[in-house]
């Protein structure tokens, strides 16, 4: 099953993708995660991408497409994959189309997770991460233990700070939202309400895929 997870930042794509990996045994390909690993290792790609990411802007399409091409060609994608955070522009979607045809693969569906803007800002600005374990906490409903806050172990991603979050949402509306109609036209779009608990959203997602025969 070859899927795209589409949705604004903070819609819960990462959380849903992880549940899908467990359920369907296919890998999650998160361009955001790959880029963060490149930034951490200070690779050439990481050095090029960092300034865009810190500002909440998109990394140029050519860099992203090159990165996705090498990832999709790996063996673990043979039975399927979940693209999380890619494509984010029409040129990336066009690039993906050619890439998949080169690899003799095709898309089965595009799951679009829908959440209101103010809910997204609230969710994203309350996301904190533990340096030592990588665990993601939420200051509103799953706060980190006091000792992790006091020791400075938990931190907020630069791109989760409010001004940057608002810029990321603007960028999403301008560059990524047009993909909803793009995939609707090709009959691949599957819309899911994303405002509930992760388990509820996942139940709806599974049912939608099942009803589509996937
Ligand atoms: P994410 O974790 O998916 O929200 O991605 C974090 C940041 O990485 C984004 O704000 C962009 O700067 C960059 N990024 C991730 N995926 C893409 C993509 N497909 N195209 C361009 N930039 C991306």
Residue 142 CA to its chain's centroid (Å): 21
Please name the helix (run of DSSP H) or strand (run of DSSP E) that holds residue 81, with its range, or none. strand 81-84
**pLDDT tens readout for residues 25-48:** 999 999 999 999 999 999 999 999
* Section 164-193 average pLDDT: 96
Burial of 118 (0-12, 13-18, 19+ CB in 10 A): exposed
Phi-psi region of 199 (alpha: psi -120 to 50; beta: other; left: phi over 0): alpha
* Nearest atom (ligand 1) to Cα of 68: 19
**pLDDT tens readout for residues 127-152:** 899 999 999 898 988 999 999 999 99
Would you say residue 203 has pLDDT above 90?
A: yes
User: Which domains are present in the chain?
Assistant: 2-26+79-211 (3.40.50.300)
Biggest CA–CA distance in the chain, Å, is: 52
Point out the catalytic residue in the list 36, 69, 122, 157: 157
Three-state secondary-structure class, residue 5: strand
Closest residue by Cα to residue 123 from 163, 95, 165: 165
Residue with tokens 């039975």: 79
Ligand 1 pocket test, candidate residues 83, 87, 88, most atoms within 8 A of CB: 88
| 155 confidence band (pLDDT: 50, 70, 90) | very high
């Amino acid at each position: 099953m070859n899927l795209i997870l589409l949705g604004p930042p903070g819609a819960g794509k990462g959380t849903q993708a992880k549940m899908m990996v467990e359920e369907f045994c296919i890998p999650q390909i998160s361009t955001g995660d790959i880029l963060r690993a490149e930034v951490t290792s200070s690779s050439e790609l990481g050095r090029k991408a960092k300034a865009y990411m810190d500002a909440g802007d998109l990394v140029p399409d050519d860099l992203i497409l090159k990165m996705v091409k090498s990832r999709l060609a790996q063996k673990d994608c043979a039975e399927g994959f979940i693209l999380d955070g890619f494509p984010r522009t029409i040129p990336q979607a066009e690039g993906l189309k050619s890439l998949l045809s080169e690899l003799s693969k095709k898309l089965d569906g595009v799951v679009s997770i829908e959440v209101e803007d103010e809910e997204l800002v609230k969710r994203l600005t309350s996301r904190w991460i533990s340096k030592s374990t990588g665990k993601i906490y939420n200051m509103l409903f799953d706060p980190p233990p006091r000792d992790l806050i006091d020791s400075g172990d938990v931190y907020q991603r630069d791109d989760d700070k409010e001004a940057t979050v608002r810029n990321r949402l603007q960028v999403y509306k301008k560059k990524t939202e047009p993909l909803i109609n793009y995939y609707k036209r090709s009959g691949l779009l599957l819309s899911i309400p994303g405002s509930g608990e992760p388990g509820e959203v996942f139940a709806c997602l599974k049912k939608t895929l099942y009803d589509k025969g996937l």
